Amino acid sequence: MITDARVLQQEFIPREVQHRDSEVNYLSSILEPVTEGNPTEPTLLYGPSGAGKTCIAQYIVEELRGSVVDLNTQYVNCWEDYTRFKTLYQLLDGIGQAYDIHRQSTPRDLLVDRLREYNDTPYVVILDEVDQLQDKDLLYDLCRMRDLTLILIANREEELFSPLDERLHSRLRNANRVHFTQYGNDEIASILRDRARWGLAENAISSTGLQQIADRAAGDARVAIGILRKAARTANQEGHSRIRSDVIADVVLEAKLEIEREVIDRLTPHQKTLYNIITDAGEIAPPALYEQYSNTVDEPKTERTVRNYLAKLEHYNLIVADGNTKARIYRARS
């Protein structure tokens, strides 16, 4: 039934995109100077998850690569490479300048200096989940490099700027902004229809099946594609030639869990313990949480470190922290 599994993967970049014509056209026009070999102002893409930000950005960059001969590009996911060093390393890697860089014993500012010295062909850089970047000063440094064309992706614009980042704020004040709104159910269904056409056997899923998935995905294309993938696999394993409605219903929860699992798997054992305690409890106050945590693990970290972990879990949207002052409550998501 599955004819091309890649199409059902999250990372797949389609050769044509739907329902984002205005965004695509606008982004293309912004990047127009690059086709002439000139860098351009930073661009900020923001909007809810699963709204196509990453996909569109990569799609545009692929198109550019097709039409511009001398062009360097790099995609960095700042969730994975969240430190200054790692991000810079990826950026240097994109222009083949990272071969002799090691974590240690590289002079402190060599990476940023080397990137600054670069003024060869245009260099278009996508920084995804840029709000996860630990050191926002890096953005400031990157903005000042005129040869770099930056595409920054974040969920909400405010998350990118803490009130204190006045320098960064003024630097990005006149950046181009593209706002992505959530997909409607019909749009999701039609995206799924394409994926099914490219990746599944003919008639493997009905229109009502696609609509059913779209209804459950709540405007998040990532979730929708995850459900489709899971449903196709399950139907395959059970030897069906079509994805039946009951199979879809069965895998919805599982597919959503799988997406959350991907996030959780990146946590350290201690962070996972905290996450489990909070989800098991539903909601819990800080002292009780720490108490339970230190009873669970062998060598508990200090309260201060646990606070760091909790901030991280909240940032990842795995938990909710209610109440900013005393009487804070940590609770499980939704």
Partner DNA sequence: CCTGACAGCCCGGGAGAAACCA
Partner DNA sequence: TGGTTTCTCCCGGGCTGTCAGG
Which of 69, 70, 99, 102 is close enough to bind DNA by CB under 7 A? Answer: 102
Q: How far is CA 161 from the centre of its chain?
A: 18
Give 18 or 83: the residue with its C-beta nearer to DNA: 83
Yes or no: say if 278 and 246 are a contact pair by the CB < 8 Å rule.
no
Q: Which is nearer to DNA, 32 or 113 (CB)?
A: 113
Amino acid letter, residue 269: P
Site string for DNA, 153-192 (x = CB under 7 A): ---------x-x----------------------------
Member of 78, 154, 310, 318 binding DNA (CB under 7 A)? 310
Considering only residues 28, 302, 317, 322, which one is a binding residue for DNA as defined by CB under 7 A?
A: 302
* Residue 131 beta carbon to DNA: minimum distance, rounded to whole angstroms: 13
191-220 positions binding DNA, by CB under 7 A: none
* Nearest distance, CB of residue 281 and DNA, angstroms: 14
Quick check: 222 and 215 in contact, CB under 8 A?
Answer: no
**Binding marks (x or -) toward DNA, 263..292, rule CB under 7 A?**
-----x-x--------------xxx-----
Residue closer to DNA (CB basis): 23 or 131: 131
Contact 196, 210 (CB under 8 A): yes
Distances (CA, A) of 95 to 125, 164, 205, 320: 11, 32, 43, 40
Determine which helix (DSSP H) or strand (DSSP E) holds 255, and give its type and residue range.
helix 245-264
| Residue number with CB closer to DNA (66 or 163) | 163
With contacts defined by CB under 7 A, name the span among 105-113, 178-186, 193-201, 211-219 that binds DNA.
105-113
CA 264, CA 258: separation in Å to the nearest integer? 10
**What's 81's DSSP letter?**
S
| 311: contact with DNA by CB under 7 A | yes
How far apart are the C-alpha atoms of 291 and 296, rounded to whole Å?
A: 9
Q: 157: number of CA atoms within 13 Å, CB side?
A: 13
Place of tokens 């009487």: 327
CB of 121 to DNA, least distance (A): 27
106 interacts with DNA by CB under 7 A: yes
Q: Where are the beta strands (DSSP E) in 52-154?
A: 72-77, 123-128, 148-154
| Residue from 114, 222, 301, 333 in contact with DNA (CB under 7 A) | 301
Rg, Å, the chain Cα set: 22
Residue closer to DNA by CB (options 33, 300) is 300
Cβ neighbours of residue 313 closer than 8 Å, sequence gap 6 or more: 267, 271, 274, 275, 278, 319
Judged by CB under 7 A, does residue 296 bind DNA? Answer: no
Phi-psi region of 218 (alpha: psi -120 to 50; beta: other; left: phi over 0): left
Least CB distance to DNA at residue 73 (A): 23
Angle at 196 between CA 194 and CA 200, to 5 degrees: 140
Question: Which window, 7-15, 77-85, 170-178, 275-283, contacts DNA (CB under 7 A)?
Answer: 77-85
Q: Where are the beta strands (DSSP E) in 63-218?
A: 72-77, 123-128, 148-154, 176-179
Smallest separation, CB 83 to DNA (Å): 3
Q: Among residues 75 and 85, whose Cβ is nearest to DNA?
A: 85
* Number of residues binding to DNA, judged by CB under 7 A: 32
Site map (CB under 7 A) of DNA, residues 4-43, x = contact: ----------------------------------------
Q: Provide the binding-site residues for DNA, judged by CB under 7 A.
A: 83-86, 102-108, 162, 164, 268, 270, 285-287, 301-302, 304-305, 307-308, 310-311, 321, 324-328
